[in-house]
Amino acid sequence: MLELNDINVYYGKIHAVKNISLKIKKGELVALLGANGAGKTTTLRTISGMLRAKSGSIIFDGQDINKIEAHKIVAMGLAHCPEGRQVFSRLSVLENLKIGAFLRKDHKKIEKDLELVYSLFPVLAERKNQSAGTLSGGEQQMLAIGRSLMSNPSLLLFDEPSLGLAPIIIEKIFEVIKELKNEGKTILLVEQNAYNALAIADRGYVLETGNIKLSGEAGDLLANDEVKKAYLGG
């Protein structure tokens, strides 16, 4: 479904992503792990068209999307839930969700998806007319996830959804991600919280300073000594 072949990305002169290749099959949940500054977010931003890879190709549903504008990639069924939530704090919760469905014209289906998001996160339904800035951090993360679901994507990119949240909220967030996978969504999950991520993922990649260091089945990675030492606190 998504295939990165030897992509290189630069921030000005900084070579942030070096020759990364990865592959996600339909219905898979793949975790992308690594420390701060390893290039995880850069990789995601490149996939969603916010950045351009200098070389290499990004194949999504059989099409190279490296040169395609961000909004068109969204239209192709790829949703990117960005790091740090980035909800529109001056817009209401409902407006935030509706802008998630910005490109869709199927109003009846949008209403249905809205109900779906409300059923995943009932608190959003309660606060739909509140401005998003008044929500707590956890609620904002739920809103960010809900918002990315509103485009009815086939592939979801999550960037650090657990960042800065209380453990009980983190648990809830990972539960929802797992549920989304079970419903058939394909997911690329970027996390520092490697244990939780690998617990729900099928496979995983480990990034280090812009390179892929390790890759494999989630279970194998969890058992890997190096991963344990570096990311699992063991």
Site for other proteins, rule CB under 8 A: 48-50, 69-71, 74-75, 79-80, 82, 84, 86-91, 95, 98-100, 102-103, 147-148, 151
Q: Which is nearer to other proteins, 128 or 228 (CB)?
A: 128
Q: Which is nearer to other proteins, 13 or 234 (CB)?
A: 13
Min. distance of Cβ 50 from other proteins in angstroms? 6
Write down the residue that tokens 């931003």 correspond to: 45
Cβ atoms 134, 77 nearer than 8 A:
no
Write down the residue that tokens 């407006």 correspond to: 95
Q: Which is nearer to other proteins, 26 or 52 (CB)?
A: 52
Q: Which is nearer to other proteins, 91 or 123 (CB)?
A: 91
Q: Which residues contact 103 (CB under 8 A, 6 or more apart)?
A: 71, 74, 75, 151
Q: Which residues contact 111 (CB under 8 A, 6 or more apart)?
A: none
φ and ψ of 60, to 5 deg:
-125, 120
Min. distance of Cβ 24 from other proteins in angstroms? 19
Cβ atoms 214, 224 nearer than 8 A:
yes
Q: Which is nearer to other proteins, 188 or 230 (CB)?
A: 188
Of 46, 155, 38, whose CA–CA distance to 55 is shortest? 46
Min. distance of Cβ 91 from other proteins in angstroms? 6
Which residue type does 25 have? Answer: K
Q: Which is nearer to other proteins, 61 or 69 (CB)?
A: 69
Classify residue 42 by its DSSP letter: H
d(Cα 196, Cα 69) in Å, to the nearest integer? 33
